[in-house]
Amino acid sequence: MESQVTAVCWLCFYQLWQLHAAQRSLTTDVPQSLVQAFIHCRLDYCNALLTGIANGQMKRLQAVQNAAAHLVSAAHRGDHAMRQLVFIANH
């Protein structure tokens, strides 16, 4: 299972990096749609198999979600991710 989590995290962070590079040329709603299409669907795929995984692997997947929230909300690196998730839910 560790290799699956590693592959998912690597691909998600790579796609987030690409989205971050193109973010200045996108309108404000587009990054949210792209994160939903590319990142969240990849995290949701076969998530039933991830029940009971080790805490370290869960933290790596959570880091992907936090990075996606920061990208969508255009937050700074030091901002807390939970505030960003509330921002996304309200918009």
Q: Identify the domain containing residue 54 by its residue range.
A: 2-90
Q: CB-hemisphere CA count at 13 Å for 50? A: 20
State yes or no: pLDDT of 49 exceeds 60: yes
Task: Show Cβ contacts of residue 81 under 8 Å, excluding neighbours closer than 6 positions.
Answer: 65, 66, 69, 70
Mean pLDDT calculated for residue range 7-23:
86
- Find tokens 């929230």 and name the residue: 69
Cβ atoms of 15 and 38 within 8 Å: the answer is yes
Model confidence, pTM: 0.71
Q: State yes or no: pLDDT of 86 exceeds 70.
A: no
Residue-wise pLDDT for 53-85, tens only, equals 888 888 888 888 888 888 887 666 566 555 545
The pLDDT score that the predictor gives to residue 53 is 84
Residue 66 CA to residue 52 CA, distance in Å, equals: 21
CA distance 31 to 22: 9
Tokens encoding 40? 């969240």
The total number of structural domains that make up the chain: 1
Gap between the Cα atoms of 68 and 66, Å rounded: 5
